[in-house]
Structure 1
Amino acid sequence: MNFEHLIQINDPLNPFVDTMTREQLWEGLVLRAEQPQLFVLGLDSCTIVSRTESTLERELHYGQATVRDRVTLQPNNSVRYDILATDSYVGGSLTMTIEQPDELQLFLRFEYTTSLPVDESEDARQTQEIVKSAYRESDIDTVRLIRQYVLSPKDAGPLH
């Protein structure tokens, strides 16, 4: 199953939305990669097993379950999460890409690819729509939390 959507970060027509810079958005994406328990409901802890300049190998602990993934960072551009498939977990990837068509607009594109087989039955389509909706809600929450952490007073958030 493949799914993608776009979330507008800066809206020059809406004065009630705090404007973020590309660098602030990137800072939030890095925070999500390094401290995912701040963003992912049900995640107990994250262990960074190895780190290079552009990658993180992580173990995500959900109760008794452990999921391994690899995070690839392209500074100020994108973060890609690759979940390693096991007997218990479906593999897949999530890429979050910053898009800035002009100086006033800023977007974050979310692209999901899973190894779930494509099934055209009505039940499968309904299940896929539920999964897509859950992804979308999670991504909206991610952006909300990035705003909260990045735009909070210097002494209030985990970034400062």
Structure 2
Amino acid sequence: MKFEHLVQINDPALPGVDWLTRQQLWLGLVARAWKPTRFVLGLEDAQITESRQQGNVTTLYRVLDYGPFKIEDTIELHEEDRTETQIAANEFCGDSTLTISIEEPKQGELWLRFHYQVSDAPNTGDVPGASSKEVEEVRKQAYRAADIDTVRMIRELAMAMPQQTPEPRKDH
């Protein structure tokens, strides 16, 4: 299954909503990578087993603990541009990728593009009483809801951070 959708971050039609900067949005995506338990419902623990830095790309190797099962993934953080998560197939899920990209079609108008590519787990059967199309639609709705929650959490984190303003220059 391939699925893609956009979530608007800064909307000029909603002047009452605080706008985020690209850096605030990026720091939220970085927080999601390093501390996913704050963002992912049902995730009990996450361990970073290794991290590497090459140029402007940080790669994290993680083990995500959902209680009854664990998933290993790799996430690449492409500085202030996108994150790419690769999940290795196991008995609970097939290979999958999630790319979250920051888009800015106009100065300051930020969007997040969520792009999913998901293979079914090799040992899963059909859901009784549901067509594959229905299961796929439920999955897409769950992804949308989780992604909107991610944006909500990024906003909360951004509003909790002290605003960085340059110190006034003092000439002697």
Quick check: TM above 0.5?
A: yes
Aligned to 2:146: 138
* Equivalent residue runs for 1:96-115 within 5 Å: 96-115=100-119
Alignment correspondent of 1:62: 66
Q: Structure 1 residue 88 and structure 2 residue 75: aligned?
A: no
Tell me the distance in 1 between the aligned counterparts of 2:39 and 2:108: 27
Structure 1 residue 89: Cα displacement: 2.2
Q: TM-score, normalised by structure 1?
A: 0.90
User: Superposition pairs for residues 47-58 of structure 1, below 5 Å?
Assistant: 47-53=47-53, 54-58=58-62
Give, in angstroms, the shift of residue 6 of structure 1.
Answer: 0.3
Residue 126 of structure 1 aligns with which residue? 134
SS at match of 2:41: coil
**Which string of whole-angstrom CA distances, capped at 9 and with x for unpartnered residues, describes residues 50-89 of structure 1?**
0011200000011131110000110000001110101332
Shift of residue 153, structure 1, vs aligned partner: 5.0
Contact between 1:47 and 1:58, CA under 8 Å: does it hold in 2? yes
Percent identity for Structure 1 against Structure 2: 43
| Gap regions ≥5 residues in structure 1 | 155-160
Runs of 4+ deviating beyond 4 Å: none
Give SS of 1:147's match. helix
State the AA in 2 paired with 1:19. W
Q: Which letter does structure 2 place at the counterpart of 1:83?
A: I
Corresponding residue number in structure 1 for 2:46: 46
- Measured after TM superposition, the shift of residue 90 of structure 1 is 1.8
Greater Cα offset, 145-154 or 126-135:
145-154
> SS at 1:98's partner residue?
strand
Q: Secondary structure at the match of 1:110?
A: strand
One-letter amino acid matched to 2:117: T
The answer for the alignment partner of 1:158 in structure 2 is none
State the alpha-carbon separation in 2 of the partners of residues 89 and 5 from structure 1.
22
State the shift of 1:99 in Å: 0.2
Structure 1: distance between partners of 2:16 and 2:94: 40
Structure 2 unmatched ranges of 5 or more: 163-172
Please tell me whether Structure 1 or Structure 2 has the larger radius of gyration of its CA atoms.
2
SS of alignment partner, residue 30 of structure 1: helix
Q: Which residue identity is paired with 1:136?
A: R
1:144 aligned partner, one-letter code? R
**Equivalent residue, structure 2, for 1:33:** 33
Equivalent AA in structure 2 for residue 87 of structure 1: E
The answer to whether the Cα contact below 8 Å between 2:93 and 2:120 also exists between their aligned partners in 1 is no
1:88 is paired with a residue whose SS is coil
